[in-house]
Amino acid sequence: MWKSGKLEIGWGFAAMVLLALLAGAGSVLPLVLLSALCHELGHLAALRLAGTEVELLRLTAFGAEIRADTRYLPYPKEILCTLAGPAVNLVLALVFARIAGDYVLAGANLLLGVFNLLPVPSLDGGRALFLLVSWGADPGTADQLCRRVGLGCALGLTALALALTLWHGAGLFLLLGALGTLLPQLPRRRRGRDGRGFSKKSSSVC
């Protein structure tokens, strides 16, 4: 593990990059990493505008994780911070497709943005759903709902990725990304409004 200031890079991230290169994804990998960088910059910019200091940016085997203390941040602002990353990717996808005519880079941003909007707790969509339900009801209800919805979504995504990998010889990196959404849900983790912090993972695996 390598750490410098607020940036931490785990061995898992380096292993994933190496695996992608060995699998022949060298031409696509820079585009995916660039899209992931724009995604994280969207989150960081939104948090900065909200007056929240980022404590840590960690790169792992399944993507990136931002940690920031948002206990005193209103729900609407934290929801916006959570959705800022996928929003940047979707806007860039439109810009690259319509203006630049770069459909490969547009596709990378579109895939990353849509993937992170899935209602899975470890992704932006799941975090936004938790905050939205907590805002309208309470964190306990939000936790139960998000765990059920997220587990069902992660199981479905993993099954689809496994089928693509076994039957068509494709979808290996999608399978790894799907496992990245499923594995964190196996041990139960309680969340609540008190002591909560902005902690999200955005997969850079495709």
**Would you name the residues annotated as active-site residues?**
40
Sign of CA dihedral 84, 114, 62, 184: positive
Tell me phi and psi for residue 159, to 5 degrees: -65, -45
DSSP SS3 for 92: helix
DSSP-derived pairing of the beta strands 54-60 and 63-68: antiparallel
- 112 Cβ contact partners less than 8 Å away, ≥ 6 residues apart: 32, 35, 36, 39, 86, 89, 202, 203, 204, 206
